[in-house]
Structure 1
């Protein structure tokens, strides 16, 4: 058992976490005369290391996930979801969201398509919440930075929020609050052509390029913010605002995430820096979930598809769910850190 643990720690630290790369970059910066223990040198090391690591992992993960996704085009996904009923359908939709696009604005068109095709509203909302919040790529990247327990916990609670929120929306029977052009749309049942292995590889490559172009600016911004927090903001400031001494830290973190727009890959460097400065785990998870689920751009896009009352219910349920999860993880902070 100890041998397996050692192997896994090596994979987590050196393969996924690329600790060797951090050391290599630090040595290189020291060789050219930068003090990596100082603010400027440390910020440069943090920035180069995190950007390189995230980009390498991102491209590899997008390729693998997109290859898997090629087996689940929208029409096939709709048919799969149509076979489930009740909370099982919400769970299936949330799980499907883990192998679909990487930000909420990419998921909303699929949400509209699924709703137009006649899938239950709560099921489509479970998909919409899960898709940007939780994906296979985030699981691997979270493991590389925070460790296995935190990564799995984040994915599990993300799926729970997606399933519970979708189930509640279904119970409220709010179908009439979907915009008319979506409810009246006609579903066209077209069988997708069978893709060859070469086609799937080409699709995966195209997704890598497209997604990289879309998220790279947010990675740069996220890592930049993380570098500033990590090397320039005093630790006691973070502890006062987001630490255990502030009972409103979770609420502040949730509200702070709303104006931002980034996918999970852009929020992880910020979360990494906050955790190193003393912010509580639940507060950080609440911030990440708010950014990926409740960002203003995605809410604006969703507003075109649903009426204000349904939009308000969606925002309210997600906000309450994220806040509760944040406080719960703060209570059990010691089990994960």
Structure 2
């Protein structure tokens, strides 16, 4: 009886701490979003930003800058950061590996090939934009990788990793060949591969809203399955989990979240690696608790990177992917080092 009471008190304390962490991060995210609206080639103070947001009678350049250009961009940045983080949670939970990220199953290579083909076919098929090409390329590559892994002799998890690595290498080679044979598309594809929100708009935000939230919700609903998989496939199966179905849902939903972000932002790496790991450090490994924290951290990380991209060499914008790579590379090495010490 006493042990049960102590356990209940301990769980209540943990839940309270997690709720406080979520609330604080959410408030920080809102504050950073407001500050980010004032960042750019034209600097706005917080008062000017808030006034442009809420004063509908105000018709000036500040309101146009905030509502037409920066507000949809900030919302898109936050949504993409959350989507990539949710995908990172799904893939890291599936592979039981904190070094996994949304591009480990070929999503990045598929998106790159789809974007390249879209640029090459822009005159004959003008309705196929870079975003649409990247989305379908990413999703198709992941489906092929999953199908191969299910019939491999290495087991499903090892098969996914091996098939994803092989698919990424092949797709990268195809992209390089296409760019070599069609050098006129090199600049457009290269700029997209570096990742950027420079052309963000309300229409792109609407496009992402159709895809990212359902995919994020699907990953979140698989939290208990991810917790079971963390104990090992045999343990998960003994708990009654349908492994093939669970893996398929996690892979598809995580890939959809990745593709939704990639289709509008280009390839931005390491966000799905860093945010879930930081969330585990803050609130533990329970996926239901950890995933919302990871999404907030991913959105904050993406916002900081985008703010740097817009201001460091204003009015020229630096690709966001450069900053996330500069931050994520050392973080990846740190994870490898700490993992080496634990073994």
Q: TM-score normalised to the size of structure 2?
A: 0.26
TM (normalized to structure 1)? Answer: 0.26
